Chains A and B, each alone.
Chain A
Amino acid sequence: MSPRRSDTGGRIDRLRTIRFTFDGASYTGHAGDTLASALLANGVSLFGRSFKYHRPRGVLTAGVEEPNALVTVLRGEVREPNIAATMIEIYDGLTAVSQNRFPSLSWDVGAVNQLGGKVLSAGFYYKTFMGPVFGPLKGTRFWMFCEHFIRRAAGLGRAGTAPDTARYERMNAFCDVLVVGSGPAGLIAAKAATDQGARVILAELEPHFGGSANWSGEVIDDMPAADWAARTAGQLEGHDNVRLLPRTTVWGYYDGNTLAALERVTDHKENPGKGEPRHRYWAIRAKTVVLATGSFERPLVFPGNDRPGVMLAHAAERYANEYGVLPGDRIALFTNNDSAYRAALALKKAGAAIVAIVDVRPELSNEMRKLAGEAEAEILAGHAVVATEGGKALSGLKVQRFDMASGALSGDARSIHADCLLMSGGWSPTIHLASQAGARAEWNEALQAFLPPKPTQKWIGAGAFNGHFKTLEAILDGRNAGLSAVGATGTPMAYPSIESLPGDPRPAPVFEIKAKGKSFVDFQHDVTAEDVRLAHREGFISVEHLKRYTTLGMATDQGKNSNIPGLAIMAEALGKPIPEVGTTRFRPPYSAVSIGSLAAERFDDIKPERLTPMHDWHVANGATMYAAGLWYRPMIYGLSGETIEQAYVREAKATRESAGIVDVSTLGKIAVQGPDAAEFLDRVYTNMFSTLAVGKARYGLMLREDGLAFDDGTTWRLGEQDFLMTTTTANAGKVMQHLEYFLDVIWPELKVHVTSVTDEWAGAAIGGPKARAILAACLTGTAVDNATLPFMGIVRGKIAGVPVMICRLSFSGEMAFEVYCGAGYGTHVWEALVEAGKPFGLVTYGLEALGTMRIEKGHVTGAEIDGRTTARDLHLDWMLSKKKPFIGSAMMDREGLIAPDRLELVGLIALDNRPLNGGAHVVEVLDEANPHDSIGHITACCYSPALGKHIALALIKGGKARHGSRAFVSDPLRNRFGPIEIVSNHFYDSDGSRMHG
C-alpha cells in the first residue's frame, strides 16, 4: 500500500491496481482514483508550475474547479493540455505530464520570474508592450519580435499538432425535467420527478452520482450517505423514463431552456469501444431545469497560500473519505467558518495528526470546541496564518493574533510545523448556469455569498445552490423542486433521518490576511491581492475592467476559486460593500469544453456531398470532379498526359465541330403548379410567361425587389397549370425561398404550389452540329426535326426504353438539347446517348468546357449576375416587359441604376496573346508601379478554341460605347499587365445562326 493510502475507507477498489505514468515516472493507483488522488497517495505534492511566476504548485481542490494541478494527457500522438488532475480517472497506461516547466518540474529555469514580481504585476502586457521609441525595431515591432519568447514562457500546456483522430458526436435530447447535479438535492429531485412519471435526465459531471454524499461521512436513513446515494441512483436506473448521464458537465444555459452538456464517454477507458465517440455534445431541451449544482469552498488569501501542501479543507476531507488518501501527516487548518472542523475530524479519523485549527473568529461555539477536542487539535481562535514555509512542499506556517474587525495583526509570529495546511473561506453557491440564463445574483450578507437570482427561465434551484448547505435542507429542497418541476404537489413526506455534525453555515466576513509576501487570489493566472489593489490605484473601478486588466478569473477555472475573494478585495479598496461592486455575469462554458465536441460531426455530414445520378459514371470514365457548392461536377474528362487546359480546349473544340454532352442535373428545378401558376410567373419574371404555349420553354430573368438582377433560367410549360422552372445551380435554394416568400407573405391569394424537383430529374445537355443526328439515332416516339422540335420546343419520347422529355435550348451557341429523365434512369439514358454518339465523334465535357463555350457565346452566369448588376448592365433589357409590373420593376429605373457610367458587360481580347485572369482590373492608362483609375474588371476568362485567342467577359464603365477601343489589363497581384481590345460579349455565333440551325 502507498505511504499515504489508508487500509480501508473510500470507494476505491483496492483489489484492482492500475499503472500509469506522470512525467515519465511509473506509479500505481486503484480503480476509482483520480490522477490527483493517486499521485497524492504516492506522496507526490508538486503537480505543476504557475502561469507567470513559475511557482511550484500542488493540488488545491478535489474537483472541476482545480486551478493548479493541470496536466497534459498523451494518447498516442495526440496531446491534450490543461486537464485538471482532479478530473482524470486513471486507467492502465495513462500517460500524463506536467506543464509550464523547463527543463523539469522540480528544477525550472522560468522560476526566475518570481524575482521580477514587480515587472510582471497587473497590466504587465498593457504597460510593457509599447516598445522602444527609436531604432530599427521601433514601436510594437520589437514586441512582435519578442512575442515568440514571451509566449513560450507564459501560458499553460502546449497544444498538440497531431490530428485528433477521436470521434465526437452530437446528441439531441428532450425531457420534462433536467436535473443538473446529483448530490442529495439533485438525486431526490430526480427521484421525485421520475416517480411522477416525468421524463427526466440527471447529469453529473463526476463519474459517480451522489456529490457531497460520497464524502460527507454523514448517515442518511441509517446508512452511510455514500451508500444511500448509490442506492438512490440505482433506483433511478431501473426506470425507463429517466436517463442518467455521469461524466456529463452541463456547461451552457441558452434561450428556450436549451442546455448544452459535454459527456466524456471514453476518456476514462484504456480501450474505447468500436465506434464509441470520445465526447458527446448533448443539446438538451428541457421543459424545466432543476439546478442542484452545489457550492464551491473558497480559499483564503494570505501570504504563501499557493504553496504545495496548502489545500481546501473539504478537498482533503474528500481525499480521505472518498479515496482513502491522506494529503499530509501533520495537518493544520485555517478557517473563517465551522465547516473546516468537520474536515479536521474526518482527517483525524483517517489517521492524520491535526496540529492546529487557526480560526479568524475570536469566539467559537462550544460545539466547534468540542469537535476540535475530538480531533485532538489545538484551537487558535482570533488568529490568522501570515506565512507558509517550505520549498516544493509545505514544512510549516506562521500564525499571528488577528483582529477581525480591523484586519490588524499583532503579537509575535508563532511557527507551527505541518506538512499540510487546509483552508476554508466559506462557501459560494454554484450559480453559473442561473447567471448564464440571464439573471443577476443577489448578495446574502449572512452567508457572505451570492445567491441565485429570481429565475428568468424555467428553472428551480435546490440544495446548496440555494444556500441551503445542510443535507436535510437539501433533501427537502430537492423533493420540492422535483415535484414542482412537473407541476405536482406531493404529500408531506417523512423527514429523512440524518446524522451529521453540527455547524453554522455563516462564515466570518474575512477574505484576506494582509501581511508581507505574495497572497494569491487567482492561482491559475498568478493574480495577487496586491495586483487587485494596484489595478484600483490605476483607476480600474468596474469589476469587468478589473477582470480584464488583471486577468483575474480569466483562466480555465474561470474564477471558480477567485471570484468572491477578488471582489471582496476590490470592494475594500473602493470602500464599498460587495453588492455595490457587483459580480460579473457568468457566460458559457461553465468549464472547459473540447473543440471537437463543438464541431461534433467529424464525418462528412457537416458538409454533405450532393451527387448527380451519373456521378459514378463520370468518376469511372476519367472525370476530375469539382466541388461546386455541395455538388460534385465533372471539371474535365482528361486523357492521360493532358493538362486541364488541353482537356477543356479539346472538349470544347470537339463539341463545336461534332457534338458534346454534359451533365446538367445540378440545375435547380422547381415545379410551379396551380391555376395561378402563369400569373405568378408573370410577377416573378421580368418577361411574360402567361403567353407561353404548352410544350414550349422560355428564357426568363428574375430581379430582386431592389431592381438588381437575381437569377436566370428557362421555364418549360408542361401543361396549362404546370410549369417546370430551372434556376442556376448556385441559386436553386435562394430562388425557391424567394418564390415561397412571395406565395406565403405577399400573395397568399394565388393558388400556386412550388416544389423542389431538382433531384427528380437527371439532365444531360447534348449540343453541337451532330447533336440532332445523335438524338435521332437513339430516340423513339418523336421526331427532332425543326418542325417537330423548333428552338425552345419540348417533345417527349423514349431513349433505351426510358421516357424522356427533351427541350431544345442552348447556352453554348450550338444547336443543343436538354434531355431529362427520371433520376433513377439517368445513367442508363446517359450511356445510351454516349453510345449513340460514338459514330458521330461525341465527347463528354465538363465545367471548364461548359464555361469556355458560354464565355464565347457571351452568356451571363453568377460571375456577372453578382448582386450589383442590372438587366441593362448585362444587355438583358430586351427581357424587361413594359406590359406588367414584376418584382423589381418599380425600383430598377432609379437614377443610380440607369446612370451612363455604370459597369456594363463587354468582351475582351488579349492583344498580347497571353492568358487573362479573373478579377483583374482594366485601365485606360497603364502604370505598373502605381495602378490607378480602374474602368472595370474581368468576371470570367478562358482560352477560346473557337477564336484561337485568350478572351474574357468583363464589366466595364461605359460598356458598349467602348467596343473596338483599346485598354489594358492591370493585375499587380499576379503581375499581369498588357493590352486588350474591348469588344461585344458575343464572341461566337452572334447572329444565332448556329444555335437556331
Chain B
Amino acid sequence: MVERQSPLEPVLQVGSHGNFEHGVDIILSETQPGSILQLAAWPGEEKKLISVIRTVTGLALPDGAGGGSTDGARSVFGFAPGKFTVVDEAEGLVSAFAGAVTPAIGTVTDLSHGRTAIRIAGPKAEWVLAKFFAIDFALPAFPVGAGRSTVHHDVFAQIQRTGADQFDVYVFRSFARSFWKALCHASEEVGYEVQ
C-alpha cells in the first residue's frame, strides 16, 4: 500500500517552539484521517441522511445548524444546510456510504485527499484561533461536537470542536502548508508543541 503524502511534511517540526520556556499552551498536530466525506441531502431528505449517518458510523447528530458529535475515531458535523462532513480514522468510509445514501436521499463526495485535518489543542486554542477567524469560539457559543464553516482570507475552514480545549480544522490541502505556518506563527507568543 502506498502511503499518502502530507502537505505539511517539510514544515511539521515535532517539538516545542516559540515562547515555551514557561510551558506550552498550544499543541498542534495533523490527524491524518483515512476518510473525509461530504454528505449532502436533497431538501426534505435531511432526516433520512442523518439516520444513514447514524447507521453507518454509530454517531447521532444533535438537532440544529452546525450540530455534530465525535467518538474519537469518527466524527460528524453539519457545515451547511443539509450538508455534513463525516470523518473516519480508517480509509474506505466512502464505500460504506456509497450504497446507503441512495440518489433519492442525496450525494456522497470523497474529500479524503482534498482536505487536511489540523488539530489545535490546549488552554490557548480559542485565543489562537480567534486571531484567524471572526467566529465566537467560547464554549457556550460553540459546544463540543459542533461544526462551523468560516474563512481566513482565502483559506476556507471547517472547524469542529472535539474537546473543551480542542478543535479540528479542515482546510483545503493546497492551503494547508500556508495555514499551518500561520498557525505556528500565531502560537509562538503562548508557546506551542508540535506532535
Contacts and interface: CB of A to CB of B under 8 A. Distances in A.
A760 B1 contact: no
23 contacts: A169-B131, A172-B130, A174-B138, A174-B141, A273-B19, A275-B185, A275-B187, A603-B182, A605-B132, A608-B178, A609-B177, A610-B175, A674-B107, A721-B103, A753-B106, A756-B172, A757-B114, A759-B172, A759-B173, A800-B2, A801-B2, A802-B2, A824-B112
Interface stretch (B57-65, B69-77, B149-157, B160-168): B149-157
Interface in B111-149: 111-115, 130-136, 138, 141
A978 B181 CA distance: 50
Contacts of B95: none
A601 B152 CA distance: 11
Interface residues of A, number: 54
Nearest to B152: A605
Contacts of A828: 2, 5
A612 to B, nearest CB: 7
Contact of B114 (A174, A760, A801): A760
Given A610-B174, A824-B113, A274 B189 contact: yes
Given A273-B19, A611-B7, A616-B10, A759 B115 contact: yes
A336 B72 CA distance: 72
Contact of B153 (A607, A755, A756, A761): A607
B46 interface: no
B106 A758 contact: no
Nearest to B127: A171
A257 to B, nearest CB: 14
B109 A755 contact: yes
B8 to A, nearest CB: 11
Interface of A: 169-174, 199, 273-277, 283, 285, 601, 603-613, 616, 630-631, 671, 673-675, 721, 751, 753, 755-762, 800-802, 822-828
Contact of B131 (A170, A199, A616, A751): A170
A274 B182 contact: no
A244 to B, nearest CB: 15
B165 to A, nearest CB: 14
Contacts of B185: 275, 603
The 9 lowest CB-CB distance pairs between A and B, nearest first, are A275-B188, A824-B4, A760-B114, A605-B182, A275-B189, A608-B178, A759-B114, A822-B113, A274-B19
Contacts of A601: 153, 182
Contacts of B133: 172
B110 interface: yes
Contacts of B38: 755
B174 A761 contact: no
Contacts of B179: 605, 608
B12 interface: no
B103 A277 contact: no
Given A605-B178, A613-B5, A753-B40, A275 B18 contact: yes
A757 B189 contact: no
B186 interface: yes
B97 to A, nearest CB: 13
Contacts of B2: 800-802, 825, 828
B103 A675 contact: yes
Contacts of B113: 759-762, 822-825
Given A607-B153, A610-B174, A801-B1, A757 B106 contact: no
Nearest to A760: B114
Given A755-B111, A759-B111, A802-B2, 18 more contacts: A172-B133, A174-B136, A274-B188, A603-B185, A605-B155, A608-B153, A611-B174, A616-B10, A674-B42, A753-B109, A756-B172, A758-B114, A759-B113, A760-B114, A761-B114, A824-B113, A827-B5, A828-B5
